[in-house]
Structure 1
Amino acid sequence: MEHSEGARPAEAIQDRRPPRWFIDRVANPVVRRLAPSRLGRRLPVAVLTFTGRRSGRRFDVPVAVHQVDDQRVVFAAGAWRVNFRGGADAQLLAEGRSTPVHVTLLEDPADVGAVFRAAFDTGITPEKIALRIPSGSQPTDEELAAHRRILVLR
């Protein structure tokens, strides 16, 4: 794999998400309960509700929604994100309100990299999206896409 000038290997980017057991048993249940509450209106918590493409099962996935330029995006690492290939409708529960959204999964490394760079330019740090990128590192689009995909909410 080629690296851009000054880039470090993909291994230099570290996934900083909490352990899976903590997400499944602690964090997600707390966010699901907080999102519709008065407190949830004041916290940056959201729940994306959608139907699985193959299973037909309903999913309520806690997400962090970020404003990047003129669009709302979610930096997604979970396997559930593939339900949005080609776009799909969902409900977003945020700030105490549920609103319909159309969600599209960006997978092309150039598109993913462009959103990452725009996010970093607007002040979203790698830590806010559970990544560690060493200081001075210039990850390539492919390296960024290897760690996260982007969901665009419209």
Structure 2
Amino acid sequence: MTAVVEWHQPPAPLVKTLNAVLRAVLPSPLGRGVGEFMLLAFAGRRTGRRYRVPVTAHGDAQGRCALTPAGWRLNFRGGADVDVTFAGRTTPMRGVLVEDRAEVARIYLDRMTELGMRRAARMIGLKFPLGRLPTLDEVVELAGREHFGVVRLSVRA
């Protein structure tokens, strides 16, 4: 049976190259023209190792967030400080991992609906083999299977 929505990531060498370019461009004056991406700079929760992760910038009524199935998202469990570079400006923020699978699925579905299938495919990394948006239950299943996560970002006080 074909899934309504599937996780789809570009080839690893392309992702690695794009990430290297974005790490250099986003904090520079050229970063002002790249409003689709943001750079997250944070410390690992166990090792203290510094990370600089470029991600697609997402937002909703509650503010800016990062949508990802990547393991680095776990550094934000319980909250962590992060410097967010977006549109050429760096802002000290607090990132918190959204743990509730139903809420994660709702956020993903809201973004898919807002962006439409074509832009959601590019900005979130999804495929829609049946040519329609999924239901909330279908996104809950995908979020659990692919370990989707949401890191909510708010300005640090």
- Category of TM-score, reference length = shorter chain: 0.7 to 0.9
Matched residues in 2 for 1:83 and 1:152: separation? 12
- Structure 1: which 5+ runs fail to align? 1-7
Matched residues in 1 for 2:61 and 2:74: separation? 24
Per-residue CA deviation, residues 51-84 of structure 1 (Å, 9 max, x unaligned), is 0011110000001111122321111121111000
Equivalent residue of 1:56, what SS?
coil
Q: Number of aligned residue pairs: give it.
A: 145
Shift of 1:23: 1.7
Instruction: Report the AA paired with residue 129 of structure 1.
Output: I
Higher deviation after alignment, 69-78 or 129-138: 129-138
Higher deviation after alignment, 34-43 or 48-57: 34-43
Shift of 1:12: 4.6
RMSD: 1.9
Equivalent residue of 2:45, what SS?
coil
- Alignment of 1:153 with 2:153, yes or no, is yes
Matched residues in 2 for 1:75 and 1:145: separation? 14
- TM-score computed with the length of structure 2 as normaliser: 0.82
Per-residue CA deviation, residues 14-34 of structure 1 (Å, 9 max, x unaligned), is 22211223322x011100111
Higher deviation after alignment, 48-57 or 37-46: 37-46
1:123–1:130 CA distance, 2 compared to 1 (3 A): same
Shift of 1:118: 2.1
Instruction: Report the AA paired with residue 20 of structure 1.
Output: A
Matched residues in 2 for 1:145 and 1:37: separation? 37
- Structure 2: which 5+ runs fail to align? none
1:104 matched residue in structure 2: 96
Higher deviation after alignment, 62-71 or 121-130: 121-130
Matched residues in 2 for 1:145 and 1:107: separation? 11
Work out the percentage of aligned pairs sharing the same amino acid.
31
Equivalent residue in structure 1 for 2:66, among 71, 74, 92: 74
Equivalent residue of 2:92, what SS?
strand
